Structure 1
Amino acid sequence: MQNEPHPLSESQTPSIQPRGELEAYTFLEGQLEHAYTQSNVRSSWDLLIPGAYMEFTEATNLLFYDRTAGLAEIYLPEGPQGELQLLKRHTGWRRGWDLILADHFLEVSKGDSLLFYDREAGLGELHAMDGEAGVFQVARFTDWRRTWDAILPIMPLDVSPGTGQVFTSLLFYDRAVGEGEFYTTDGQGHLSRVSRHSDWRRTWDLIVPFTQSTSDANRTVLVFYDRSAGHGELYAVDGQGDIARLSKYTGWRRSWDLIIPCRISGINANGLLFYDRSAGLGELYAVDGRGALSLVSRYTGWRQTWDAIVFGTLAGPGPLLDPSLLFYER
């Protein structure tokens, strides 16, 4: 993999015109305030992955990946309102990555490490960061199942009490067979299966993890969404790779495209932002420790063409960025 400087708005591929757009909003108690718009953004980004790709940074970094071009670019919010500035451009990346996750998988990584999955090839890779937005491969897996629909980072599983597991664990979901598998990572590039669940619903369209603080410790909560049934369920994950249902919803809207975990500043609560592309609708809900959802804000008249929405400290005036939402249209 090679890297070289390159601006966000240019396109190295003549057939791809920079018609995309980014909009950032600061986010306080459910209210959104426009921070900036960046036009003439590359219109071929397939994945936007927030993370910490520098050794010392408080702001959320962003990794953009273009599958067709085998291209990735890493950005840091640094402009007057948090506008994105290029850190590093990577060329020659594999063109078949379906999923890229950023979290604490590798001890050697200076910042978040990256997990890659190529579904067609049954291939997975773990890469570490060098502290300056560069990446290098640590582990390669050539025999992964070719039917995983989702791979999700979760809080470290404590399968052996007292061992002090500190590296992010993983949940794999195969929709066709209704299976979920939990794995631990050891920081050296090895994965170990902890549990397998073979009785999961085969119609989950989205599984969204978020970290919830409890009186005892933090835990991962999983939001499951079945679009055609308008059905949602929230589960807490324990340290052994088992899940316990917190709540069940049978009347959800059947047209949500995205569910984005966030923190609702001001009330310091976990939040879930739902986005319905065809309706141009967003709804923000606070989530309590029992899995109960309460509506905080409803947004109508949103653009019907957002392809991705990410949450982090991404915008705001001055050096201290605020909780923010970044919207991307190809």
Structure 2
Amino acid sequence: MQQEPHPPLSTQELSESPTPAIQPSGELEAYTFLEGQLEHAYTQSNVRGTWDLLIPGAYMEFTEATNLLFYDRAAGLADIYLPEGPQGELQLLKRHTGWRRGWDLILADHFLEVSKGDSLLFYDREAGLGELHAMDGEGGVFRVARFTDWRRTWDAIVPVMPLDVPPGAGQVFTSLLFYDKAAGQGEFYATDGQGHLSRVARHSGWRRTWDLIVPFTQSTRDANRTVLVFYDRSAGQGELYAVDGHGGIARLSKHTGWRQSWDLIIPCRISGSSSNGLLFYDRSAGQGELYAVDGQGALTRVARYTDWRRTWDAIVFGTLAGPGPLLDPSLLFYER
């Protein structure tokens, strides 16, 4: 993936302007999360009803709470919010207008050395365009790298633990997995913190029917590793793979008989234990299920919810709600 030369750091495409008209048809609900029990924290009504993407991250230089980036594709608008109300209600930190209207995917992670907080990766599938942007620590965003030759058929791009890190390396940066469903291919790329991507491994012969690839970080006795959850909706199958330090993957477990109607799978943390968790949401049934995941990829159901709203468009996990300055592990639900 070739990086296009870029001009000095600027905010040309990410400028601020007066607040556009808000379409207050959406709603947010936040729940604190404790051992599978969800306790309602707050509801925010009359929020904008046209957000396409909600991206949790750390967009301030010094913050313990999860921040949220909301992106409205049609309007070319993005808002960055902090949970600052009495129960963690979201407060607007920064509004950006003039954003590209073709972004299909936005990721937040540790890609750039210059970024104060998480940096952002953008992907426009139709244009075959990718960009890396850094944060200024106060909600401002500026472009560091632009890629004009990306494949137009990537269906998923997910962050993974740093790859090909030499012994004794200092600061390391999040790597990436790209998945092309039609081609049955996956490619792993390392980032160097300066905006360059280098391919570490390429895999062919992958299943062409994976609908979701969900990463989470798992702690082991020696180090942390990325585990990938692959979900094939039509087959009702899931597989969990561990990623090694060189872009190789090893299957941990295979699951058959999964529901064929899961819309979302959200990695989360089950409070009070060291277990990773996965939250599954079936929109048409209004149901959710929470599972603990062990080191071998086995799933154990912790809770089942049968009365959820059938209209949630997005669910994100983070430290997003709860009384006082120390927010709890939480789920934020958004309906347009």
TM-score (norm 1): 0.96
Does 1:228 pair with 2:234? Answer: yes
Distance 2:156 2:309 in 1: 27
- The aligned length equals 323
Choose from 12, 16, 39 the match for 2:21: 12
SS at match of 1:3: coil
Distance 1:3 1:114 in 2: 18
Instruction: Give the corresponding residue for 1:67.
Output: 73
SS at match of 1:216: coil
Instruction: Give the corresponding residue for 1:248.
Output: 254
Choose from 102, 107, 110 the match for 1:101: 107
Distance 1:195 1:203 in 2: 21
Letter in structure 2 aligned against 1:3: E
Choose from 146, 150, 158 the match for 1:152: 158
Q: Which runs of 5+ in 2 are unaligned?
A: 1-13
Distance 2:147 2:171 in 1: 22
Identity %: 87
- The alpha carbon displacement at 1:158 in A equals 2.8
Distance 1:283 1:24 in 2: 17
Choose from 46, 50, 53 the match for 1:47: 53
Change (3 A) 1:165 1:222: farther
- The alpha carbon displacement at 1:268 in A equals 2.6
Distance 2:40 2:280 in 1: 19
Change (3 A) 1:5 1:284: farther
Q: How does 1:85-164 map to 2 (within 5 A)?
A: 85-164=91-170
- The alpha carbon displacement at 1:130 in A equals 0.3
Distance 1:63 1:241 in 2: 29
Does 1:203 pair with 2:209? Answer: yes
Let me know the Cα RMSD of the aligned residues.
1.1
Distance 1:173 1:144 in 2: 12
Instruction: Give the corresponding residue for 1:24.
Output: 30
Letter in structure 2 aligned against 1:109: S
- The alpha carbon displacement at 1:5 in A equals 7.0
| Residues 65 and 73 in structure 1, CA contact (< 8 A), matched pair in contact too | yes
Distance 2:17 2:301 in 1: 45
Which deviations, in whole Å up to 9, do the C-alpha atoms of 1:52-89 show, x marking residues without a partner? 00000000000000000000000000000000000000
- The alpha carbon displacement at 1:220 in A equals 0.0
- The alpha carbon displacement at 1:258 in A equals 0.1
Distance 1:167 1:138 in 2: 15
Instruction: Give the corresponding residue for 2:301.
Output: 295
Distance 1:110 1:188 in 2: 14
Does 1:35 pair with 2:41? Answer: yes
Instruction: Give the corresponding residue for 2:333.
Output: 327
| Residues 87 and 323 in structure 2, CA contact (< 8 A), matched pair in contact too | yes
TM-score (norm 2): 0.94
| Residues 165 and 172 in structure 2, CA contact (< 8 A), matched pair in contact too | no
Distance 1:161 1:141 in 2: 29
Distance 1:128 1:29 in 2: 35
- The alpha carbon displacement at 1:163 in A equals 3.5
- The alpha carbon displacement at 1:266 in A equals 1.1
